[in-house]
């Protein structure tokens, strides 16, 4: 409501009340003070203390002139009327003051409510900006993760091409050299030697291609397993016999009674796991030292197999990466390590995990080289 309207009510309101009360009986006139006090209270609430005091002063003068004998003058004949008018003036002032305080408290509460609304709006805006910033940060983190993944994929691709080209170049070069060399007289002995070299390098190429195909199947989730209950002792015996043909001087120590358990596995793939681990141990173990295979039941429903050699072990900086593709040790530590495709342990990991098992490199006790451990699920009738 505009201020001039409030001031108009404060100044003209007592006159309107007086004009109304003059026409009533003397009984109503004795109660006039309550009407004036109400007017003062309303003015105090609407505008504040000063309009209320102005309205109280005007009301005091009008009451004295129209209702206090002698009527029509501003003189007061009765001392009681003086007391009554002064009391009215004080009460009117107090009512105006209290009403003005009420108004001030109301204005302060409205201002506080407005501030709270502004703060709430600001909080909503800040929360929205924070949420947008968090989403932007998340999108940035995802983009950075995708970039790192693409960079890692590109690095692996280039590394794979480099390793594959290196692995292919050596046997292909040997095959080409042996099959096209016409510098020497071709005797039966030379031809047999060349054919044997070509056949060996062709087998090396075949092993590389097979390993790469196996890795592609494992990483693509296209590996098919023919799972069946089979004797672990039979699989170990067959793998040890295959190693004996490849490395006649190598001895494989194992306990048939401890390995007399049935596991749920694919015969060919389990043989591939054992062959790769034994071939890896054979490359690193000193000549004449045995390779040990230990079988135990350390976890419910699982058979635990360890392949242990007495070689130099795995370097500390390679322990976390030993099951990655083309990860090899220092050739200076063991030149024989340069043989093989570099995919054997990565294939072991993929095949074991495809059997719902796990593979790890254990800590080696003193005097022992590498200790490779893997688990396989027991056959249902032996799982208990």
State pLDDT tens for residues 197-211. 888 888 888 888 888
**pLDDT at 371 exceeding the cut of 80:** yes
Per the prediction, the chain carries an average pLDDT of: 80
Residue 184 has a pLDDT of 65
Domain count along the chain: 3
pLDDT in tens, 277-322: 999 999 888 888 999 999 999 889 999 999 999 988 888 888 888 8
**228, β-bridge pairs:** 265
Residues 238 and 310 in one domain: yes
In angstroms, the CA 273 to CA 35 distance is 106
Residues 215 and 236 in one domain: no
Residue 170 has a pLDDT of 77
Domain of 235, in residue numbers: 228-377
Residues 307 and 173 in one domain: no
Residues 256 and 367 in one domain: yes
Residues 206 and 266 in one domain: no
Name, of 47-56, 95-104, 199-208, 353-362, the range with top average pLDDT.
353-362
Residues 249 and 208 in one domain: no
- Pick the more confident residue, 365 or 10: 365
- The token pair at 365 is 């006790």
Within a domain: 149: no
pLDDT in tens, 28-43: 455 566 677 676 667 6
Alpha helices in the chain, H assignment, sequence order:
3-22, 26-29, 32-46, 49-66, 79-180, 188-219, 232-246, 267-284, 344-354
Residues 276 and 373 in one domain: yes
Pairing type for strands 228-231 and 359-362 reads unpaired
In angstroms, the CA 246 to CA 221 distance is 31
Residues 245 and 168 in one domain: no
Stretch among 104-113, 222-231, 266-275 having the lowest mean pLDDT: 104-113
CATH classification at residue 311: 3.30.565.10
Which of 56, 90, 119 is the endpoint of a domain?
Answer: 119
Within a domain: 348: yes
Residue 2 three-state SS? coil
Within a domain: 34: yes
Tell me the pTM. 0.55
Residue with tokens 């505009």: 2
In angstroms, the CA 295 to CA 312 distance is 23
Stretch among 161-165, 226-230, 309-313 having the lowest mean pLDDT: 161-165
Within a domain: 133: no
Beta-carbon contacts of residue 3 (< 8 Å; ≥ 6 apart): 47
- Pick the more confident residue, 201 or 274: 274
In angstroms, the CA 298 to CA 354 distance is 20
Residues 240 and 349 in one domain: yes
Within a domain: 131: no
Residues 103 and 213 in one domain: no
């Amino acid at each position: 409501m505009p201020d001039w309207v409030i001031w108009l009510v404060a100044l003209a309101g007592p006159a309107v009340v007086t004009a109304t009360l003059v026409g009533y009986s003397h009984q109503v006139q004795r109660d006039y003070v309550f009407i004036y006090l109400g007017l003062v209270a309303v003015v105090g609430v609407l505008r504040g203390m000063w309009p209320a005091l102005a309205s109280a002063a005007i009301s005091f003068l009008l009451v004295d002139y129209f209702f206090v004998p002698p009527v029509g003058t501003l003189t007061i004949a009765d001392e009681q009327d003086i007391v009554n008018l002064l009391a009215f003036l004080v009460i009117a002032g107090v009512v105006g003051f209290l009403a003005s305080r009420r108004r001030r408290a109301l204005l302060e509460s409205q201002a506080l409510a407005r501030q709270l609304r502004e703060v709430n709006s600001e909080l909503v805006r800040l929360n929205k900006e924070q949420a947008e910033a968090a989403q932007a940060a998340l999108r940035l983190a995802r983009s950075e993760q995708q970039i790192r993944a693409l960079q890692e994929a590109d690095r692996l691709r280039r590394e794979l091409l480099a390793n594959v080209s290196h692995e292919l170049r050596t046997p292909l070069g040997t095959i080409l050299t042996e099959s096209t060399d016409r510098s020497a007289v071709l005797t039966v002995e030379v031809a047999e030697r060349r054919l044997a070299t070509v056949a060996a390098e062709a087998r090396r190429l075949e092993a590389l291609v097979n390993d790469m195909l196996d890795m592609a199947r494992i990483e693509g989730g296209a590996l098919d397993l023919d799972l069946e209950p089979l004797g672990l002792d039979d699989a170990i015996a067959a793998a040890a016999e295959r190693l004996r043909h490849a490395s006649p001087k190598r001895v494989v120590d194992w306990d048939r009674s401890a390995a007399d358990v049935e596991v749920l596995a694919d015969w060919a793939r389990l043989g591939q796991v054992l062959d790769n681990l034994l071939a890896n141990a054979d490359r690193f173990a000193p000549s004449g030292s045995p390779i040990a295979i230990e079988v135990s039941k350390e976890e419910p429903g699982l058979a635990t197999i360890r392949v242990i050699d007495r070689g130099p072990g795995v370097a500390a900086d390679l322990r976390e990466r030993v099951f990655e593709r083309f990860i090899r040790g220092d050739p200076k530590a063991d030149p024989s390590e340069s043989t093989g495709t570099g995919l054997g342990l990565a294939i072991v990991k993929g095949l074991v995990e495809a059997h719902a098992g796990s593979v790890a490199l254990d800590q080696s006790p003193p005097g022992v080289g590498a200790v490779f451990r893997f688990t396989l699920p027991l056959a249902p009738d032996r799982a208990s």
